[in-house]
Amino acid sequence: MIVFQNHLIEQQTILGIVVAEGIRMDAAPPGFEEDLGNLIAERGKPLSEEEEVKRGAVRDMLRNGRFRPTGRSKPASEYLLRSAGEGVDAFPRINAAVDVCNFISLKHLLPVSIWDLDLAGSDVFEFRLGREGEAYVFNAGGQVIELEDLIVGCRLSHGESIPIVTPVKDSLATKTVDATTRVAGAVYAPLGVCPVDRIEAVCREFAGLLEACGEGAHVRSGVVPPGETCRI
């Protein structure tokens, strides 16, 4: 079992968690290409009023202390939305697990993180606000994101809380690689517009797609409300 702690009480952030083991990075779910293409075409259209409300609520969820979700610090879901508006050829494609993650993020307009559990080297993770001075490299070019007051997911190891993911950009250190077989994913959602049952449904969809990434995959999911701990 893997432990997930949600300390984002003031932010009223609900976490949807998916854990998948025995998956392959080169095994996309059946029919995924068509489904993704259709979604990208749909997201090229203007958002509905309800969707605009959700997008605003996600930004408000990230607006804490010194952190402002603007410019290059926008939620990852907004980056994907912009890419979808440029057409299928502009949409990022990485590997089966990340592509599924991006599909869920684009479809539900919520930021989603995914990381390699073996590279993380922990079975306990906590989500909190970033502390002064915290930062990590997020791409192969060595670019760094400052994490102070940003929602961060951290691996707990030997008493240390080490940030590895955020709703904006995930750490290079724990990103999936070709050999990845075990991943965890986190959906970040504002509780005010995303009740528990809705996030449970998002997680079931997320889990179902990851389970289709290779034969013999084992997937489980759960929801962690603000202030609670869940074993998944």
| Residue 165, H or E segment | strand 160-165
Confidence of residue 20 (pLDDT cuts 50, 70, 90): very high
Distance CA 127, CA 15 (A): 9
8-state DSSP, 130: B
Say what the pLDDT of residue 115 is: 98
Interval 46-85: pLDDT, tens? 999 999 999 999 999 999 999 999 999 999 999 999 999 9
8-state DSSP, 46: P
Judge whether residue 36 has pLDDT over 90.
Answer: yes
For residue 36, the domain's CATH number is 3.50.40.10
Distance CA 107, CA 80 (A): 10
The residue segments making up the domain with residue 28 are 3-231
Spell out a b/e string for 51-69, using b for 16 or more CB atoms within 10 Å of the CB, else e: eeebbebbbebbebeebeb
Residue 11 Ramachandran class (φ > 0 left, ψ -120 to 50 alpha, else beta): alpha
Report, as an integer, the average pLDDT of 18-45. 97
Judge whether residue 103 has pLDDT over 90.
Answer: yes
Confidence of residue 152 (pLDDT cuts 50, 70, 90): very high
Judge whether residue 126 has pLDDT over 90.
Answer: yes
Dihedral angle, C-alpha 167, 20, 42, 74, nearest 10 °: 10
Say what the pLDDT of residue 216 is: 86
Interval 174-204: pLDDT, tens? 999 999 999 999 999 999 999 999 999 999 9
CB-based contacts of 209, cutoff 8 Å, min separation 6 = 29, 32, 100, 103, 104
Say what the pLDDT of residue 205 is: 98
Report, as an integer, the average pLDDT of 209-213. 97
Confidence of residue 92 (pLDDT cuts 50, 70, 90): very high
Spell out a b/e string for 153-185, using b for 16 or more CB atoms within 10 Å of the CB, else e: bbbbeeeebbbbbbbbbbbbbbbbeeebbbbbb
Say what the pLDDT of residue 32 is: 97
* Structural domains in the chain (count): 1
Write down the residue that tokens 């440029």 correspond to: 86
Report, as an integer, the average pLDDT of 115-122. 98
Report, as an integer, the average pLDDT of 84-98. 95
Say what the pLDDT of residue 5 is: 98
